[in-house]
Amino acid sequence: MRAVLAGEGWGVPRGRLAVFREPHSVVLFRGDPDDFLEEISELLRSGHTGIGYFGYEFCRYTLDGPRLRDKGPATAPLAAFMFFGNDPEIITVPKILSRGSSLVEPEMSRERFLWMVERVRDYIAAGDVYQVNISQRFGFRSSISPDGILANVCLTQPVPFACLLDFSDFQVVSGSMELFLRKSGNLIISRPIKGTRPRLGDSLRDWEMVRELRESEKERAENLMIVDLMRNDLSKVCTPGSVSVPRLFEVESYATVHQMFSEVAGRLRDGVGLREIVEAVFPPGSVTGAPKVRAVEIIDELEPHLREPYCGAIALLRPDGDFTMSVSIRILLVRSGSGSFWVGGGVTWGSDPEAEYRETLVKAEALVRALGAAGWTG
């Protein structure tokens, strides 16, 4: 078992990997969230560094109200962490792309996805919600190892929060660009992403895409809804009046997409730690919708699949109580050469179903690249 972090969001220089080996302890979720969080907290207090994930369906224990359907057996635990007592080895990312044979297949028809978008719009028209994030899942088989997939992510689409979590019988690979939470002392920040345009491989056309994204009323409205949601969530654990929005509607460009982000910050109340923050804020608002509880209920109704690690959080937990969590998007869940990945987007009243479907395919392209595949079948 081991954990590999890549990206400046984790504090790892570009072109390098931080490899944590031989964990002191491994904590898997076994059904009791209080026991799970207490065991994590105890290991942190004893001086260990924790690296792992909270799966999306952990929201069963952090939100009041939603009762999620049974969608069949999960591939991986609901949440899992490794704890290390030693410093990581810093190595160089391989310079050559890992190549092999990969087959990628969508598990949902285009027609089903378009139907989900229309159903969300029906709920918006009825006044249930303002926005819901919906996703589709792809299955894959690949001869490329999880290490090779991570190397491909680093080489073809550098992002702030890449990682490989190797739990022996399954692996989680992520190429996320989104900061869910960063706690430093009593300061906490979140950088929700909402709003996407494709990269077009031409500087002039890319500039036009960035301008279009910045000026899009639909994307700004979508982004602002999630900013307001995050402000509300952080207010539950921050001192009154301390939550602010230092950055709004900014755009960052990556290998395959341009993305709009904002930043929400606050000062934590005395005595607030990991447990209180997770219970107040999880799951990330950018991958659920607003209002959050009703959005989660609609996601559960419409999506036929479990999200598992997707749309949860990958976390680097420090013994001093500070931590960094990414939103676990661009996730590949691997088991013995096969696995799944998920892509999705936020739906508002102004959403065009075909455009939302195409956006998921643009996002899938990055994961297909990481698998070394030319595209997908179906």
Catalytic residues: 178, 194
Exposed, middle or buried by CB within 10 Å (0-12, 13-18, 19+), for 252? middle
Residues ≥6 apart with Cβ < 8 Å to 207: none
- DSSP E strands: which ranges in 55-203? 79-84, 89-92, 102-106, 131-142, 161-166, 171-176, 179-184, 187-190, 193-198
How many Cβ atoms from other residues are within 10 Å of residue 275's Cβ? 15
75: amino acid identity, one letter: T
Written as six digits, the tokens of 138 are: 């792809």
Residues comprising the chain, all counted = 378
Q: Are 170 and 146 in contact (CB under 8 A)?
A: no
Whether a cis peptide bond, with omega within 30° of 0, leads into 291 is yes
Contacts of residue 344, defined as CB under 8 A and 6 or more positions apart, other chains included, come to: 133, 134, 135, 136, 287, 311, 360, 363
d(CA 32, CA 35) in angstroms, rounded, equals 5
Beta bridge partners of 2: 21, 166
User: Is the dihedral angle over the CA atoms 350, 177, 48, 234 positive or is it negative?
Assistant: negative
The string of DSSP codes covering 304-371 is -S--TTTTSEEEEE-TTS-EEEEE--SEEEEETTEEEEEEEEEE-TT--HHHHHHHHHHHHHHHHHHT
Residues facing 341 on adjacent strands = 138, 332
